[in-house]
Each structure stands twice: as structure tokens, then as C-alpha cells.
Amino acid sequence: MAEETKDPVHVYFVLPIYNEEAALPKLLKMLATEQLPPGIERTIVAVDDGSTDSSAEILASLSQQYPIKVITHKPNRGIPGTFKSAFEFVVQTVRDDDVVIVMESDCTSDPSLIPELVQRINNGSDIVIASRHAHGGAYVRFPWFRTVASTIVNMALRVALHIPKVEDYTIFYRAYRGSIIKRGFAGGVTFKAKKSFAVNGEVLLILSTFHPKIEEVPLHYDYGLKTSPSSMPLVATLVEYIRLACLYMGKKNS
């Protein structure tokens, strides 16, 4: 009797994109050629959220060479709409043991961590966070006011929400097991965040209700590697994090 073979694990790279023409050629080539364990396939899920530069043209061209699924928004829907489109696409085909890695598209998500993120999911974790606040992590070349704001928000969320094993609530760069993505979003993707980067924390809050195994790996977040100005409105994002923390804290206490 022939031995049953298991389908290869698939890695989905989710890229929220807004005016990233400078970063995309290098980033997409790197993700398409990054060495993964044998038998692992990949799909790059690139969500172009109403870019006004040449990002759309670059994506159209490179999708002829690399395994890229392009999702286009016109007009801009913000990060909640971007995550909604990406997760709605992924849950259609993702399998329980697949890996979904969300990265920033400005070259600040250190690609050298990808093999470790995949390995930790393969070893049983449900969520692996590339963390600036884990032992060995750091903010590098970060504007002081953004460092202070990020640190304060993460401290407040640790106190208010206290998700076990989580130090960095606001970083985009995370790996998720396919099964936890399906549990969180297969029934529909709805966020309370209003066109805000704070939805990134909300994703973690939603998935935490399923009591996942979470790990963090240290990330040196080098702001100097950014290829485009930050599009995150700092004050509005801080206000939105406070609003979401109050909403979810109320749900936990009810």
C-alpha cells in the first residue's frame, strides 16, 4: 500500500500597499525567491489600496513573473479595508497548517526572520509576532516621538488587554497558522476600527478569543530602511487604539 503523502504547506505573504513604488521591485523579488523549507509553496497577496504612484503598474508587471495575487482598491479603503480584502481572499484556500505572514511593504520587516516565523508555526505556534519589545528587539533609527508613542500604546494595551505572551500589540509583522485565520475570519471579516492602523491590534484581539499559542521573536525595526514617508496619522491612530481598547475591554468584562 502506497504511503499517503501530505500536501505541501503553503505560505501566504500579505502586503498592504499604498504608494510603495520604490520598495516593491526589491521586496517582491525577495519574497518570491526567499528560501523556504523543501515542499513549501508561496503566494504573495498584494493589496494595492488606491495607490497614486506607479505601484499598480509594478504589481501588474511583476505578477507575470512571480506568484502574486493583486487585489486593487479604488478609492483607498484604509488598513481595515486592506486587511478585510486580504483575509477574505486567504480564507478561501488556506489550510490548517499553512502560514500567513503579514509584512509591511516599505522594507522595514526584516526578511531574515521569515524562516524562523515559518518554523515556529510548523512547531505548533498559532501566532508568532516579530516584536520590538521582546528580549533582543529594538527600535532602530526611529523618530523619538514615534518611539515614545508606540511604547506608551503598547504598555497601555498590555495593562488593559493582557493577552498572554504578547509584548508588541501594534507591529504589522506577524505569522499566523492557517487554522487560526480560518477560525477568526472564515465566517466573515468585520472590524470595528475606522480606517485606522489600529486595526492591526484589533486582528490580534479578535484571534486571542480562540486562546491561541502565541510566541514572540525579537525584531530590530529599522525605520531608516523605509522607502516612503509614513502614512500613519499618529494622533488619530493613538485615539483609535484607545477607543478599541475600551470596546474590547468592555467585552472581556461583560
Measured distance CA(69)–CA(47) in Å, rounded: 8
Q: How does pLDDT run across 8-21, given as a tens digit for each residue?
A: 589 999 999 999 99
Please give the chain's pLDDT, 254 residues, in tens: 344 445 558 999 999 999 999 999 999 999 999 888 888 999 999 999 999 999 999 999 999 999 999 999 999 999 999 999 999 999 999 999 999 999 999 989 999 999 999 999 999 999 999 999 999 999 998 888 888 888 887 887 788 777 889 999 989 999 999 999 999 999 888 888 877 778 888 899 899 989 999 999 999 998 888 765 555 555 666 777 777 777 766 555 44
Is position 92 within any domain? yes
Domain limits at 228? 10-253
Is position 2 within any domain? no
State the pLDDT at residue 11.
Answer: 97
State the pLDDT at residue 124.
Answer: 94
- CATH number, domain with residue 95: 3.90.550.10
- The length of the chain is 254
- How would you class 224 by CB atoms within 10 Å of its CB: exposed for 0-12, middle for 13-18, buried for 19 or more? exposed
- 15 neighbors 109 (Cβ within 8 angstroms): no
Please, what is the end-to-end C-alpha distance for the chain in angstroms? 55
Is position 234 within any domain? yes
Domain count, the chain: 1
Q: Where would I find the H helices in 47-167?
A: 55-62, 78-90, 114-122, 144-161
- 163 neighbors 214 (Cβ within 8 angstroms): yes
Q: Where would I find the H helices in the chain?
A: 24-33, 55-62, 78-90, 114-122, 144-161, 178-185, 199-208, 234-253
* DSSP E strands, 151-198: 174-177
State the pLDDT at residue 248.
Answer: 67
State the pLDDT at residue 83.
Answer: 96
Is position 3 within any domain? no
Q: How does pLDDT run across 224-249, given as a tens digit for each residue?
A: 887 655 555 556 667 777 777 777 66
Whether this model's pTM surpasses 0.85: yes
Sequence-distant (≥ 6) Cβ neighbours of residue 104 within 8 angstroms = 16, 172, 173
Is position 4 within any domain? no
Measured distance CA(220)–CA(140) in Å, rounded: 6
In whole angstroms, how large is the CA radius of gyration of the chain? 18
Is position 158 within any domain? yes
